[in-house]
Amino acid sequence: MNEKLKDILEWGYCIVIALVLALLFRYFVGTPTIVKQRSMFPTLQENQRLLLNRTFRITKKYPKVGDIITFEAPTKTYSKWEADQTNPVAVYENEPKGILNRFIYYSLEITKKSYIKRVIGTAGNHIKIENNKVYVNGEVLEEEYLKSDVVTESDVFYDFIVPEGYIFAMGDNRAKSTDCRELGCIPLKKIEGVVCFRFWPFSEFGGIE
């Protein structure tokens, strides 16, 4: 093997290793994302850049109430006639087939649609939406992050217990948010990341509540 070919192979190995490490970091540690929806206004606004923490995929310490998360968008939106308060779970029907397609979808996240919302309830919590308020285990949820004129309504999922292995999440901009009120509770395995902080615009750099 001549020296030129050896150099090319060594560079090739380095590039492959770097790509693998980058993908592992992106999937298990953290990655940037862009806000593309108004469902979290005014907490988050369109085109802001955020950093997502994904270490829960290693630690299994899943998001808690109040955390802002991103998750894979379910394929079904329920109507009030379809909703079963005893089984308030999201539906995912378009799972990619084959190793390559799964890699492209879950690792590269190409063509994958995601939502960004705030965790309102975790497994075992009794959620009740009534009189324009959210009750968790019988107590009114204090939501200081909402604008004063925001009301919470739902005629789809409104009185249920969050199943084991799921979370219930809503957008802060309730009137403009498609969320678990119509989608059902989200499986923990479909959570993509927890928002750490905002890094763009620089004028709003920092943590988010």
pLDDT in tens, 36-70: 989 999 999 999 999 999 999 999 899 999 999 99
* Per-residue model confidence (pLDDT) at position 1: 58
For residue 75, what are its two tokens? 């394929």
Q: Is residue 19 part of a domain?
A: no
Q: Is residue 12 part of a domain?
A: no
> What's the pTM value of the predicted model, to 2 decimals?
0.91
- What range does the domain containing 180 cover? 32-207
**Strands 114-122 vs 126-130: parallel, antiparallel or unpaired:** unpaired
Buried b (16+ CB within 10 A) or exposed e, 8-24: eeeeeeeeeeeeeeeee
CATH number for the domain that contains residue 164: 2.10.109.10
C-alpha–C-alpha distance, residues 169 and 152, integer Å: 12
pLDDT in tens, 78-97: 999 999 999 999 999 988 88
* Per-residue model confidence (pLDDT) at position 136: 97
List 127's β-bridge partners, or say none.
Answer: 136, 160
Q: Give how many domains the chain has, as a whole number.
A: 1
* Per-residue model confidence (pLDDT) at position 10: 76
* Per-residue model confidence (pLDDT) at position 127: 98
